[in-house]
Amino acid sequence: MRKLLFLLLFLFLFSSCSQQQNQASQTETTTVDTSSIETYTGDLYIIDIHAHINPTDEEENDQYLEELIEIAEKEGVSTIALGLHARHIMDQPPVYSEEHDTWVLAAAETYPNIIIPFLDGFDPADLDAPTYVEEHVVQLLS
């Protein structure tokens, strides 16, 4: 399980680095073939690391995602980390939603080249949390 989590972290950190570059000294220049990357903006890849789904209903969420992707592509965002954290209401335990994870995973399947899904529909203190994450990761990778 630890290896899988490490792999996911590794993939997240390097998801936008799809091309291998040679190390260059301070006196050398580095060139990057950008012909296959429409959202490359020069020396940097823009990654939105904090985007949320719209937790109202599936149809509204689909429309929201279409707009999010359209804006991201227009503005040069190459990758979006998408999720929805638990709802917190004062003096009550957090509310987790597996349905929201289903929507996030569906978005990652629809937009696999730009969306990195974050699973948030589980209580990390729950002893079954690792199983929940593993099942959803297997689903995404299959």
Does some domain include residue 24?
no
Instruction: Identify the CATH number of the domain in which residue 83 sits.
Output: 3.20.20.140
- Residue 25 pLDDT more than 50? no
Does some domain include residue 112?
yes
Does some domain include residue 1?
no
Return the ∠ at Cα 13 (arms to 101 and 122), rounded to 5°.
25
Least confident of 9-18, 89-98, 125-134: 9-18
pLDDT tens across 51-74, in order? 888 767 788 888 999 999 999 999
Return the H-helix or E-strand segment holding 77.
strand 77-83
Does some domain include residue 4?
no
Does some domain include residue 113?
yes
Mapping DSSP to helix (H, G, I), strand (E, B) and coil, where does residue 23 land? coil
Q: Tell me how far CA of residue 55 lies from CA of 110, 122, 132, in angstroms.
A: 18, 16, 20
- Residue 13 pLDDT more than 50? no
Instruction: Pinpoint the alpha helices (H) of the chain.
Output: 2-14, 58-75, 98-110, 129-141
Structural domain of residue 121, as residue ranges?
39-141
* Total-model pTM: 0.63
Does some domain include residue 61?
yes
Considering its fold, how many domains does the chain have in total? 1
- Residue 31 pLDDT more than 80? no
Q: What is the pLDDT of residue 34?
A: 56
Least confident of 28-37, 66-75, 105-114: 28-37
